[in-house]
Amino acid sequence: MENFKGKISVIIPAYNESDNISNTIEETIKVFEEIGNKYEIIIVDDGSDDDTFLMAKEAGSNNSHVKVIRCGDTNMGKGFAIKSGFEHVNGDLVVFMDADLDLPPEQIGILFKHLKEKEADVVIGSKRHPDSVVDYPWYRKIMSDAYYLLILILFNLPIRDTQTGLKMFKFEPLKGAFERILVKRFAFDLELLLIIHKLGHKIVDAPVKLVFKPKKFRSVGLKAIFDVLWDTVAIFYRLYILNYYEL
């Protein structure tokens, strides 16, 4: 990210990521130390009931660029955690990154390249980009494809993938969107990108390399699927019935 003189803030929401969080912090620090940009890493522990918070504090204890915060004792959802992390942001660019290293942090440079070359306000990592390299289970791909079609039908967004956990934003568009966002959990990314699109900001996608790692004690069950659909329908209702997103 040469010639960029500003600061990059990386928000990493984490829930029960004790197996990964230390490596995630170390790998992210390594990326920024190698490229030489000013940065901060904000870890948001979203009510984990394992040692995520303590391990994150330990991993970042010797680096002043690392901030570790805890939302509380109850898991409130990815959207809530990211909004909490945003309150601590001091950067000119803001990156959202998952805590599990399925999407290695060195790909942040690819997002920045697309942001600069395409003069965009937001760059989202996309599993559907033709240059992406994606390795994840067939059932996750089916669910992803089905949700993509649903989003296309309901919202006609010019975005191929709202859910991949690696995104880069200019600060001001993100700040403006956060002032209106309501979803705390499953459809947070969709609502955020919908608002940014309605505000007239330019969103482009970038290729990613994604290697799925099986998660202990986690699965996408019927309740999670129902909650995603419920949040999505709620966004549809606010958009077309309440005109909530009209500015």
The torsion defined by the Cα of 75, 76, 82 and 83, in degrees rounded to 10, comes to: -140
Q: Grade residue 220 by pLDDT with cuts at 50, 70 and 90.
A: low
pLDDT at residue number 186:
78
Residue 229 lies in a domain: yes
Torsion sign over Cα 55, 208, 93, 33: positive
Tell me the C-alpha distance between 193 and 62, whole Å: 35
Q: Domain count for the chain, please give it.
A: 1
Does residue 218 carry a pLDDT above 90?
A: no
Q: Per residue in 104-138, pLDDT tens?
A: 999 999 999 999 999 999 999 999 999 999 988 88
Residue 136 lies in a domain: yes
Residue 107 lies in a domain: yes
Nearest to 103 by CA among 79, 71, 135, 140: 135
Q: What is the pTM of this model?
A: 0.94
Residue 98 lies in a domain: yes
Residue 247 lies in a domain: no
Which residues lie across from 211 on neighbouring strands?
Answer: 135
Q: Mapped to the 3 state alphabet, what secondary structure does 176-189 carry?
A: HHHCCCCCCCCCHH
Does residue 247 carry a pLDDT above 80?
A: no
CATH of the domain at 15: 3.90.550.10
Determine the structural domain holding residue 97 and report its residue range: 7-240
Residue 138 lies in a domain: yes
